Structure 1
């Protein structure tokens, strides 16, 4: 059974481990394998910081059978009043759990949070154009392509375009 919930301080060690593992499993995340060092202390600080913001959120997907964190969604809000209605989304799921609806559950929980808070109207994200699985998921969830950022992502020394997508609630 998978539980989707807000991240808490207790998750810091597992959160850091999961993020580093996800970085190494796909070329489509912002950071590549071994490119960043995130410690449990770093993760705890970020979780604590986001918990205090009314317009930002960190969700985790926890496998209740193994007590393992298997995915995350970060909705990163903006402090200026004129942009607090907008969040940028980053999402990742461990490869062993791809295709099992984990990301869909994370997005649905984030939308529930956004609607309950009444602060967020615009949710946006970027996706490498070749990442057809993610693109299909986002479109299924109601995200629309707004434009293309040309050569905005470099994977193995090759430039890739990204779609800029958004959804209004």
Structure 2
């Protein structure tokens, strides 16, 4: 586990997700669905149950080019980051990043810490050469974080997500590693 100091002085632990985390992660996602409209799911809309989440953790942990990490504060999971790359030989070098943090812990450095852990891992694998993500075009805190970490705008998906009957555009962002 890596330890990071947050802006509020507390210590945040980050480690790979483990199968025993599945129940807590599903609960966290269900809570996140009520806290933010910036995700691809809303209240009671998270698509994995306990067994499926457990299988996902096992699957991602068994693949060299994927990562699933959790942020732990005061003994509970408050956020996570996943990076899922293809198993196809021509696409194994790139994947999609997703990050989520419970609202009570926004703006204290959790996202930045997750990104630090991720990029240290990605550079150490020497397999990951491209990181991609999608973000709502009005989610300025997330966009600022991604720009800070070297992501660039690569495109726009018009009407990419619908929240409460309203469509929002998504930015497609990417960053290369080691080129």
| Same fold, TM-score > 0.5, yes or no | yes
Match of 2:171 in 1: 163
Match of 1:52 in 2: 62
TM-score when normalising by structure 2 = 0.90
TM-score when normalising by structure 1 = 0.95
1:36 aligns with 2:46: yes
1:92 aligns with 2:95: no
Aligned-partner Cα distance in 2 for 1:40–1:62: 19
- Superposed displacement of residue 53, structure 1: 0.7
Listed as ranges, the gaps of 5+ residues in structure 2 are: 1-10
1:9 aligns with 2:19: yes
Q: Which residue, 19, 26, 31 being the options, matches 1:21?
A: 31
- Superposed displacement of residue 159, structure 1: 1.0
- Superposed displacement of residue 37, structure 1: 4.8
Aligned-partner Cα distance in 1 for 2:40–2:47: 13
Q: Confirm or deny: 8 A CA contact 2:29 2:46 kept in the other structure.
A: no
1:66-97 CA distance string (max 9 Å, x none)? x1100000101101111111010111000000
Aligned-partner Cα distance in 2 for 1:127–1:37: 19
Match of 2:91 in 1: 83
- Superposed displacement of residue 117, structure 1: 1.0
CA RMSD, aligned part only?
1.0
- Superposed displacement of residue 39, structure 1: 2.5
Q: Confirm or deny: 8 A CA contact 1:6 1:60 kept in the other structure.
A: yes
Equivalent residue runs for 1:126-145 within 5 Å? 126-145=134-153
Q: Confirm or deny: 8 A CA contact 1:78 1:87 kept in the other structure.
A: yes
Q: Confirm or deny: 8 A CA contact 1:12 1:43 kept in the other structure.
A: yes
SS at match of 2:147: helix
Structure 1's consecutive aligned runs of 4 or more residues displaced over 2 angstroms after TM superposition are: 36-40
Q: Confirm or deny: 8 A CA contact 1:20 1:38 kept in the other structure.
A: no
Q: Confirm or deny: 8 A CA contact 2:30 2:45 kept in the other structure.
A: no
